[in-house]
Amino acid sequence: MKVIDTGNHIAALAAKMARPEVIAAYPITPQTTVVERLAQYVERGELDAEFIRVESEHSAMAACIGASATGVRTFTATASHGLLLMHEMIHWAALARLPIVMINVNRAIGPGWNIWSDMNDSMAQRDTGWIQFYVSSNQEIFDTVIQAYRIAEHEDVMLPVMVSYDGFILSHTSMAVDVPEQEKVDSFLHEFNSMWKLDSSHPITHGNIIMPDDYMEVRYSMKKAMDNAMKIIEEVDEEYGKKFGRSYGLVEEYKTEDADYVIVATSAIASEARVAIDVLREKGKKAGLARLRVHRPMPFSRFNYDKMIVIDRAVSLGLGNGGIIYNELKSRGDVYGFVAGLGGKDVNYKDIVKMYEMAEKGKEGWYGVEVD
Amino acid sequence: MKVIDTGNHIAALAAKMARPEVIAAYPITPQTTVVERLAQYVERGELDAEFIRVESEHSAMAACIGASATGVRTFTATASHGLLLMHEMIHWAALARLPIVMINVNRAIGPGWNIWSDMNDSMAQRDTGWIQFYVSSNQEIFDTVIQAYRIAEHEDVMLPVMVSYDGFILSHTSMAVDVPEQEKVDSFLHEFNSMWKLDSSHPITHGNIIMPDDYMEVRYSMKKAMDNAMKIIEEVDEEYGKKFGRSYGLVEEYKTEDADYVIVATSAIASEARVAIDVLREKGKKAGLARLRVHRPMPFSRFNYDKMIVIDRAVSLGLGNGGIIYNELKSRGDVYGFVAGLGGKDVNYKDIVKMYEMAEKGKEGWYGVEVD
Amino acid sequence: MLTEIIFYGRGGQGGVTAANILANAALKDGNKGVQAFPFFGAERRGAPVRAFARISDEEIYLRSQITEPDIVVVLDTGIMDVLDVTNGLKKDGLILLNSNKKPEEFGFDFRTATVDATGIAIEQEIVVGGIPVVNTPIVGAVAKFLGISIDSVKEAIMERWPGKAGEKNARAAQLAYEKVIS
Amino acid sequence: MLTEIIFYGRGGQGGVTAANILANAALKDGNKGVQAFPFFGAERRGAPVRAFARISDEEIYLRSQITEPDIVVVLDTGIMDVLDVTNGLKKDGLILLNSNKKPEEFGFDFRTATVDATGIAIEQEIVVGGIPVVNTPIVGAVAKFLGISIDSVKEAIMERWPGKAGEKNARAAQLAYEKVIS
Amino acid sequence: MMETAISYPTEGGMGKTGTWRIFRPVVDNSKCINCRICWVYCPDAAIKMLMDMPENEGKDIKGIEIDYDYCKGCGICANECPVKAIKMEREEK
Amino acid sequence: MMETAISYPTEGGMGKTGTWRIFRPVVDNSKCINCRICWVYCPDAAIKMLMDMPENEGKDIKGIEIDYDYCKGCGICANECPVKAIKMEREEK
Amino acid sequence: MASIKNFPKEEYVLKGHAACPGCPITIALRTALKALGNDVTLIVPASCSAVVQSLVPKTSFNVPVLNIAFAASASAASGVAAALKRLGKKTIPVVWAGDGGSYDIGIQALSGALERREDFIYVCYNNQMYSNTGIQRSGATPYGAWTTTTWTGKKEMQKELAEIVMAHHIPYVATASIAYLDDLYEKMKKAKEMEGPRYIEIFSPCPPGWRFDMSKTVEIARLAVQTGSWVLYEAINGKIEFTSYSKMLLKGRERKPIEDWLRMQGRFRHLTEEDIKRIKEAIDEKWKYYMQIYNKD
Amino acid sequence: MASIKNFPKEEYVLKGHAACPGCPITIALRTALKALGNDVTLIVPASCSAVVQSLVPKTSFNVPVLNIAFAASASAASGVAAALKRLGKKTIPVVWAGDGGSYDIGIQALSGALERREDFIYVCYNNQMYSNTGIQRSGATPYGAWTTTTWTGKKEMQKELAEIVMAHHIPYVATASIAYLDDLYEKMKKAKEMEGPRYIEIFSPCPPGWRFDMSKTVEIARLAVQTGSWVLYEAINGKIEFTSYSKMLLKGRERKPIEDWLRMQGRFRHLTEEDIKRIKEAIDEKWKYYMQIYNKD
Ligand SMILES: Cc1ncc(C[n+]2csc(CCOP(=O)(O)OP(=O)(O)O)c2C)c(N)n1
Ligand SMILES: Cc1ncc(C[n+]2csc(CCOP(=O)(O)OP(=O)(O)O)c2C)c(N)n1
Ligand code: SF4
Ligand code: SF4
Ligand code: SF4
Ligand code: SF4
Ligand code: SF4
Ligand code: SF4
Ligand SMILES: [Mg+2]
Ligand SMILES: [Mg+2]
């Protein structure tokens, strides 16, 4: 069925169709309509689940942890400061190996308060042990949320998954989305499955004091799970493709085969870049695009291009020019990095064309600020 | 004066001698004795300051922000989960350009509860816009806390500074420290200086809604401050050296001139590695050491070695082998990465010698776990 | 072909709804690419606001804001005192105004159309809290210039408000479709 | 030269304090490198615990735990039932025990020394909550084997507990220094 | 270059917010009894009492002045005025 | 390989915690009145009532048994026993 | 007793701010600042009040303002207070927070600051929901109210934050309303003269959030008091005294029917007779208790 | 009335755990679990109780335990409760938290869960400080007590968390003590049979933290009640009833002198006559109030 709706409502719809048993979330712009819609589904009886209207995001993630540890599928959504306030519990969920799925609607961090798209919020969680997706369309939001549960709950993975997309640009933009039948989704997702659970008939304790050797093993097993995830993500995506007719991969390539320079970007900018590629090609430039869809695990091996132009909407200040993906990919070839679109500054295909042309001249840096 | 005391007590002593006006902190192992000692100084009248016994770390940082914004010097200290709970306010302090100085005593993240050294706590804050030091001895704790105030409050910087060191390994180990006279410290530190402050005779508002263009400028000005910090850190260190006879630089080199492989490490492991270098040299191997003392801003340009062996005590799971510094330096040459010592697993010079010998054979990865 | 549209109105006046209904109607008419989105501001009720729509027969990859629209729709001509609605409008672009005046009375250097959406709303009794609802008639009018069938518009309206309310709104759209002048 | 020492005792018995005083005394004697640190455990009162000291005439860069000590000090021989205090001890290493027995009675394959620290503590009336404080006498005894002057030990004790308490403890250290047998 | 989010007190922070108005309060000062109710409740501080104006000092004057540059037309003044001296009229544009 | 911090219920989680003891509770069961006070207060669950033991079922038996493997020697039992049936003695080692 | 006739003419909320037409926040803040004067530092967490200030680099608040993260107002205020003490200034730190930032996400910082006896004034303007993010339920949302997270009406009774704060045994606790500005002014003045933590909560109906015509903000606030749904009182060192209209109710004036108040608000449109009965009973219960206490004294 | 004679013989706290000798936590938990049975899920935040469990992969608690971050117990419990409801299980989520994790850092999650009317039992064992990190002050630390962050004695009165919780109007609130285990057992049993949020606070003297001989844990707890410094009561739907020894005090039995209690504890060693007077007065004041209420009823 074709549905036309905002990214947030599509996210809520996908979550609903994944049949979580417990949802705990706290409102924050621009995520709010995800939560509102889910509350509505639950109150109208369209989704048979418990909705916990927590009093903060720290509690939202804690409640998901409690529910997941008790053995049910969970969902939450947040953005920006909400995500930051969860930070402690985000680490916790990963170390506890609980397959929680979370939407993060990317929004800049304050002060000053800025409600627009910027990926510093989720990128600042890159070291927490979560699998992280960055998606580019409402359709992909839907498909990725469903995939996320399969991946998170896969016995070789058992890690939480975060699906991020640009605030307003996707969250509040209506686009057409193909929504499959509930039965098809049901048959794609398996019964909830977890690595451990609390059950009074088999009492265990989770999370008491752990000594160094065991701790290092726990961390190593998470590393292995991430390694596995790289494969599982592709397998799940392929199976999804067979069933639903859409798949995306870890990195989505566009005209890269003969490209002189490959633009690397995520999310909305990556979509917009596709238009820029067409413009550049018309100009006779051999431009290509590699859209990074999965940032953790980072699919390093997919980046075998001679020359790359990385556009970052998040920065690690004090790390060269700051671009996070740029810095991570720097070792993979000749890389030009641009930081653009922070705090929701609009980045359109013309800007991207300009960046391309700057890179050709060996330039890189921050795009769109008066650099003195 | 030579004093023999634990890293934490030395940190408290240094903080005291920097004369903060407001301290807000919350106890957490292994930071606790920093807070206890400072409370004692204040209650005994040895330090004329307000000590706010906050009810959480989120509040500790918020209180420092409030005090700093009102125009006084501030101090706090934390570790592990405390640092994670502060995450939102850590970002806030940086974007507000408040020169807060914070000690972080590195400790692993739970679950399970693990109180031992591991740098995932502070490394997970690498994208927050704070200047970050990692120090290797109690003497360096003292010297760096003093330097930190000069750097943070420098008009070309105006960013908060975090000084991290290994839990227990430094925090609870007594070593001899040369403590200068209070007057000398006073003359090294200037009057508290800030970029802005709240004053009812000149009312301003800080942090209301900010639109994309202005926001991007704020971020860019932070980037410039980080660039400046690279220089200022060295200048301050040099001046400190002239005055107190000790200086450290951004990267401390040991026998690197003719080294075949340069070991790169931070904190306690970097100190232990010095012993390993001597052992390796005795074995006839041309080993060198580059101790990374400042991780933000990252002194990329100092890493001009052909072959490096990076030992990480923190991981970004899903980013290759995970080692954070390893991944950041990968583009600087031929780099072998080891992850070691997570959750306080002891890493001694013999382990480091082994890693060196493994790297020589082209091996890298996680050290000290049964890798299957 | 890609058409980009900006709706000008006030916070609470339903510009975003108009853009949404239009996009839905366009989808029904077989357009593969449709987008509708608000201006991403922090505005409160009453303040002038914008909404956007993109319609294309192909998948749309654009994610940026619209700065050079093909069509500009003005729901409340009062805001023309505050801002220049022709800003960025393509040379061969169209301005559609909610007004009972004739197009030429506005003296724009652009192709201009008018429709008395307010009048139609009052006539069809779609008034909420004393304020006439102009977004459904306006969509009817704009559909005409986009070659979108009025039936699709009405269907889209009925989907949003099933029942009585939808019918009245659909009728208003139909009337506007018929009455718009350019 | 680097000397590494492990103190075995119980939580609350003051092993860390002993290590600290020893390190301070060593510093006073001109050693450039001194370290004293607890075993980094999560132990509660009463549980067997360890503390460590390193002493060297040069700067110490080591930051790892001590696994092959030169000297092992046992504050409470009761814990020898629970753990092997000779674990890792260097072949030419020394065991110093708080005991009124003779060294040879323990039958270790290592050089062994004993001092009746408990007896000295009782004699010097350094008893807290009914439990004799053995850490200061034991430091006096161990100093002897390290070539650390007993005056430095006493000075270090007095720095920690100025006044009466310090004096009693210093006297205990002195006595132990004199009475230790090996 | 903006270094951090600092703002300075300014009248018209959001511009002339009078443009947001759909209904306009119109006062009949001859009815006014100087009760100050509209003045104290106006959320936009858009009402001034005539008697508070320096030029009217000492005069026995009744009535208010509405700053239409900023009045957002909420109608609270009209709703609260005890003598119905204020009426809301559709803004003509 | 440890995948996450899971623990299973085990007696002696910290080993034989009786080794922590400095003083040892010694009971004189002839004084005991079976009041259960020591049993209920023992923080280490180291006291068993003789009458609760299966082998003593039905018997009119008085007294307790202390599990020295785990008794940490806190002395609460001795302090609380209403008839002073328990004494704390210095552990001989 | 203060009268609006004597309110200072100074305005610290400047014209042309960003609030919706008919917003209760600026009504409350105008009067509060008239009472407190401008030697204050406002600490404002995420909320409509943060938006109302206008956009950087302009602000409509003519006093120092520290905007702060949602959960952090009372702790940031503790830092401000400590710094002001060090600087020897008399400036008063005043938190200006919504009900969301006070009842829910900021309550830990608030409770901690109260226990530490911080020297500041905490104002909670209570519009009974998260209005800034578009009308979600908060701990202060009353039973039965529609919000976008309680589509069929909230199932739980609201938290009673003023009671909770009183259980912290602080020097001053007061409730107020934007309809009774002389009472609010008086309470702000009293708070200003005291030391230690002081808490004032202001009832603030929000037109878009509660779904009523923007001209009715004050009227609805007034009715809340007159129906006994909101109560005006103050507690100095724990001793409660009713004030203004609520005092008259206590002394016997008849409460207006709660339906009058509920009917005016779209958020209660869906209430069943049963719901209304439950609300009525809760109010009756509350007043029975007040009367009992009052008559005992 | 329960008697220790009838306590179940089952032990859910296994021998050989990691608590200090004389620890009040395991005394409390042994009895609590005897009352609640093993169809529970314990939610334990950072605290001594987390350490007491022993080291991974062993645990001394023979019921399911979810250790959780310090600030997160009541919210994690909300998640557990929701999941159990979905699974149709009768298992009771029981938070087992220290005073630090309840009075200070966990109070926001607690307050939120109470407002939402979550179906769980919250137990706060109150040892009046952060013992796990080595004796720092908490909101529950009494006036005058030495801790490592209040070297000269705490300057503020303790927070009254049970009162604060009561201001949330929940079905069951009770205070208990490790000295009165029959009373504790009874209260746990009552709580077990109820629905919605239930709160029980257990007074728990800690030998290393309060500086007393480890054999005196129970004695000190008993004296706290006998001197009237700690009060045993329960409130069912807001109605307060004193219980056990406190009831006898209410009925006129004489309170023991508070000095007896203070003198036993190293943490109060430095108190001046004046301090003691202040403490005494506060207790007298409290009891005067109780007596008043009691005699009025
Ligand atoms: C940590 C965090 N979570 C969520 C938000 C989003 N947020 C901003 S304001 C707000 C609601 C504020 O409600 P209230 O405090 O009642 O103030 P009001 O908007 O009603 O004035 C929310 C949920 C945020 N800024 N930070
Ligand atoms: C966010 C965070 N801050 C601080 C700590 C350190 N910490 C662990 S337990 C504890 C004190 C616990 O006190 P309480 O809740 O009273 O329990 P008790 O130790 O007294 O049993 C502290 C401060 C932590 N684990 N997490
Ligand atoms: S209509 Fe509203 S904004 Fe305008 S003057 Fe009246 S009260 Fe003020
Ligand atoms: S409310 Fe009416 S009578 Fe009172 S001052 Fe205003 S206009 Fe005059
Ligand atoms: S001494 Fe303590 S641990 Fe041992 S049996 Fe008695 S009460 Fe139990
Ligand atoms: S307390 Fe004493 S009398 Fe009572 S059961 Fe124990 S040993 Fe027997
Ligand atoms: S939503 Fe309500 S509280 Fe917020 S600015 Fe608008 S009227 Fe004021
Ligand atoms: S410190 Fe106190 S509460 Fe903690 S385990 Fe020891 S006795 Fe128990
Ligand atoms: Mg609100
Ligand atoms: Mg405690």
Residue A325 has pLDDT above 80, yes or no: yes
CB of F93 within 8 Å of any CB in chain A? no
Distance H211 CA to ligand 8 centre (A): 11
Which of A127, A300, A368 minimises the CB distance to B316? A127
Atom of ligand 8 nearest to the CA of H214: 7
User: What whole-number distance in Å separates Cα of residue G13 and Cα of residue G27?
Assistant: 9
Atom of ligand 5 nearest to the CA of F45: 8
Which of D24, D34, D62 minimises the CB distance to B275? D62
Give C82's pLDDT tier (boundaries 50, 70, 90). Answer: confident
**Structure confidence at residue A101 (pLDDT):** 98
CATH superfamily of H11-296: Thiamin diphosphate (ThDP)-binding fold, Pyr/PP domains (3.40.50.970)
Q: Which residues contact H272 (CB under 8 A, 6 or more apart)?
A: none
Residue G133 has pLDDT above 70, yes or no: yes
Best to test chain A binding among F2, F8, F10, F14 (most A CBs inside 10 Å):
F2
Name residue, tokens 């940086």.
B94
CA H106 from chain centre, in angstroms, equals 14
Q: Give the mutation target among G122, G130, G204, G210 for probing the ligand 1 site: most ligand atoms within 8 A of CB.
A: G130
Asked whether the beta carbons of residue H20 and residue D129 sit closer than 8 angstroms, the reply is no
Q: Among residues C181, B68, B258, which one has the least CA distance to residue A111?
A: B68
Q: Where are the domains of chain H?
A: 11-296
User: What whole-number distance in Å separates Cα of residue H198 and Cα of residue H196?
Assistant: 6
Tokens of residue A299, six digits: 């699919």
Asked whether the beta carbons of residue F93 and residue D82 sit closer than 8 angstroms, the reply is no
User: What whole-number distance in Å separates Cα of residue E72 and Cα of residue E16?
Assistant: 9
Chains touching F by CB (3 or more pairs below 8 Å): A, B, D, H
User: What whole-number distance in Å separates Cα of residue C61 and Cα of residue C172?
Assistant: 33
Closest ligand to the CA of F44: 5
Residue C7 has pLDDT above 80, yes or no: yes
Q: Which residues contact D5 (CB under 8 A, 6 or more apart)?
A: D19, D22, D52, D53, D54, D55, D66, D69, D70, D71, D72, D73, D142
Asked whether the beta carbons of residue A206 and residue H66 sit closer than 8 angstroms, the reply is yes
CB of E30 within 8 Å of any CB in chain A? no
Q: How far is CA D179 from CA B360, D70, D176, in A?
A: 54, 21, 5
Write down the number of H helices and E strands in chain F.
2, 5
Q: Which of residues 55-84 of G touch C (CB under 8 A)?
A: 55
**Structure confidence at residue D129 (pLDDT):** 67
Q: Where are the domains of chain A?
A: 2-244, 251-366
Give F93's pLDDT tier (boundaries 50, 70, 90). Answer: low
Give D42's pLDDT tier (boundaries 50, 70, 90). Answer: low
- CATH assignment at residue C153: 3.40.920.10
Q: Beta partners for A309?
A: A263, A336
Asked whether the beta carbons of residue F73 and residue D81 sit closer than 8 angstroms, the reply is no
Pocket of ligand 5 (CB under 6 A): F 25, 42, 44, 46-47, 66, 71-77
Q: E33 in ligand 4 pocket by Cβ < 6 Å?
A: yes
Give A256's pLDDT tier (boundaries 50, 70, 90). Answer: very high
H119 three-state secondary structure: coil
Mean pLDDT value of segment G170-194: 98
Per-residue pLDDT of chain H (297 residues; tens, 9 = 90+): 789 999 999 999 999 999 999 999 999 999 999 999 999 999 999 999 999 999 999 999 999 999 999 999 999 999 999 999 999 999 999 999 999 999 999 999 999 999 999 999 999 999 999 999 999 999 999 999 999 999 999 999 999 999 999 999 999 999 999 999 999 999 999 999 999 999 999 999 999 999 999 999 999 999 999 999 999 999 999 999 999 999 999 999 999 999 999 999 999 999 999 999 999 999 999 999 999 888 876
Q: May I ask the CATH class of domain B251-366?
A: alpha beta
A8 three-state secondary structure: helix
Instruction: Enumerate the residues of chain H whose CB falls inside 8 A of the CB of residue G101.
Output: none
Please, what is the average pLDDT of chain A?
97
Q: H205 in ligand 8 pocket by Cβ < 6 Å?
A: no
Query: Nearest C-alpha to atom 3 of ligand 7 is from which residue?
Result: G206
Residue C11 φ then ψ, to 5°: -55, 125
For this complex, say whether ipTM is above 0.95.
yes
Give C160's pLDDT tier (boundaries 50, 70, 90). Answer: very high
**Structure confidence at residue D15 (pLDDT):** 85
Distance G147 CA to ligand 1 centre (A): 14
The model's pLDDT over G9-18, given as tens digits with 9 standing for 90+, comes to: 999 999 999 9
Q: H49 in ligand 2 pocket by Cβ < 6 Å?
A: yes
Give helix D15-28 / helix D135-146 axis angle, nearest 10°.
40
Q: Is the peptide bond before H64 cis (omega within 30 degrees of 0)?
A: no
H-run or E-run covering A60: helix A57-70
Name the H helices within chain C.
Answer: 15-28, 117-123, 135-146, 150-160, 164-179
Tokens of residue G20, six digits: 């919706």
Asked whether the beta carbons of residue H213 and residue D42 sit closer than 8 angstroms, the reply is no
Q: Beta partners for A372?
A: none
Give helix G73-87 / helix B57-70 axis angle, nearest 10°.
40
Q: How far is CA C174 from CA A79, C77, C120, C180, in A?
A: 41, 22, 10, 10
Q: Measure in Å the smallest separation between the Cα of H161 and chain G Cα atoms.
A: 8
Residue D24 φ then ψ, to 5°: -65, -45
The model's pLDDT over A109-141, given as tens digits with 9 standing for 90+, comes to: 999 999 999 999 999 999 999 999 999 999 999
Same fold? A2-244, A251-366: yes
From B229-233, C76-80, G278-282, the region with the lowest mean pLDDT: C76-80
Residue G57 has pLDDT above 90, yes or no: yes
Q: H127 in ligand 8 pocket by Cβ < 6 Å?
A: yes
Closest ligand to the CA of G103: 1
Instruction: Enumerate the residues of chain E whose CB falls inside 8 A of the CB of residue G66.
Output: none
Count CB atoms within 10 A of the CB of residue A358. 16
Asked whether the beta carbons of residue B212 and residue A346 sit closer than 8 angstroms, the reply is yes
Tokens of residue G276, six digits: 């209304």
Give G134's pLDDT tier (boundaries 50, 70, 90). Answer: very high
User: What whole-number distance in Å separates Cα of residue A324 and Cα of residue B64?
Assistant: 28
Q: Where are the domains of chain F?
A: 26-90
**Structure confidence at residue C15 (pLDDT):** 85
Q: E66 in ligand 4 pocket by Cβ < 6 Å?
A: no
Mean pLDDT value of segment B201-210: 98
Q: E35 in ligand 4 pocket by Cβ < 6 Å?
A: yes
Q: May I ask the CATH class of domain A2-244?
A: alpha beta
User: What whole-number distance in Å separates Cα of residue B156 and Cα of residue D10?
Assistant: 53
Tokens of residue B58, six digits: 């989120």
User: What whole-number distance in Å separates Cα of residue F5 and Cα of residue F3?
Assistant: 7
Print the SS3 string covering chain G.
Answer: CCCHHHCCCCCCECCCCCCCCCCHHHHHHHHHHHHHCCCEEEEEECCHHHHHCCECCEECECCCEEEECCCCHHHHHHHHHHHHHHHCCCCEEEEEEECHHHHHCCHHHHHHHHHCCCCCEEEEEECCCECCCCCECCCCCCCCCCECCECCCCCCCCCCHHHHHHCCCCCEEEEEECCCHHHHHHHHHHHHHCCCCEEEEEECCCHHHHCCCHHHHHHHHHHHHHCCCCCCEEEECCEEEECHHHHHHHCCCCCCCHHHHHHCCHHHCCCCHHHHHHHHHHHHHHHHHHHHHHHHC
Tokens of residue E35, six digits: 């009760």
Domain enclosing residue D118, as ranges: 2-179
The model's pLDDT over D84-108, given as tens digits with 9 standing for 90+, comes to: 999 999 999 999 999 999 999 999 9
Surface-to-core class of residue B284, CB atoms within 10 Å of its CB (0-12 exposed, 13-18 middle, 19+ buried): exposed
CB of E11 within 8 Å of any CB in chain B? no
Instruction: Enumerate the residues of chain B whose CB falls inside 8 A of the CB of residue E6.
Output: 196, 204-206
User: What whole-number distance in Å separates Cα of residue H34 and Cα of residue H184?
Assistant: 11
- The pTM for the full model equals 0.98
Residue of B nearest to A126 (CA): B316
Give C24's pLDDT tier (boundaries 50, 70, 90). Answer: very high
Closest ligand to the CA of G217: 7
Instruction: Enumerate the residues of chain B whose CB falls inside 8 A of the CB of residue A96.
Output: 111
Give D14's pLDDT tier (boundaries 50, 70, 90). Answer: confident
Instruction: Enumerate the residues of chain H whose CB falls inside 8 A of the CB of residue D45.
Output: 20-21, 208, 214
User: What whole-number distance in Å separates Cα of residue B321 and Cα of residue E75?
Assistant: 65
Which of A95, A204, A220 minimises the CB distance to F8? A204
- E26-90 carries CATH number 3.30.70.20: yes
E87 three-state secondary structure: strand
DSSP states of B38-53 as a string?
A: HHHHHHTTSS-SEEE-
Q: Give the mutation target among H27, H127, H131, H204 for probing the ligand 2 site: most ligand atoms within 8 A of CB.
A: H131
User: What whole-number distance in Å separates Cα of residue A174 and Cα of residue C24?
Assistant: 9
Give C10's pLDDT tier (boundaries 50, 70, 90). Answer: confident
Give G297's pLDDT tier (boundaries 50, 70, 90). Answer: low
Tokens of residue G206, six digits: 């929000």
User: What whole-number distance in Å separates Cα of residue B214 and Cα of residue B209?
Assistant: 10
B117 or G292, higher pLDDT? B117
User: What whole-number distance in Å separates Cα of residue F41 and Cα of residue F57?
Assistant: 23
User: What whole-number distance in Å separates Cα of residue F7 and Cα of residue H18?
Assistant: 14
Q: Which of residues 5-24 of E touch C (CB under 8 A)?
A: 14-17, 19-22
Instruction: Enumerate the residues of chain C whose CB falls inside 8 A of the CB of residue A344.
Output: 40
Asked whether the beta carbons of residue F10 and residue H54 sit closer than 8 angstroms, the reply is yes
Instruction: Enumerate the residues of chain F whose CB falls inside 8 A of the CB of residue B111.
Output: 4-5
- Longest pairwise C-alpha distance within chain E: 53
Residue B372 has pLDDT above 70, yes or no: no
Q: Give the mutation target among G48, G108, G127 for probing the ligand 1 site: most ligand atoms within 8 A of CB.
A: G48
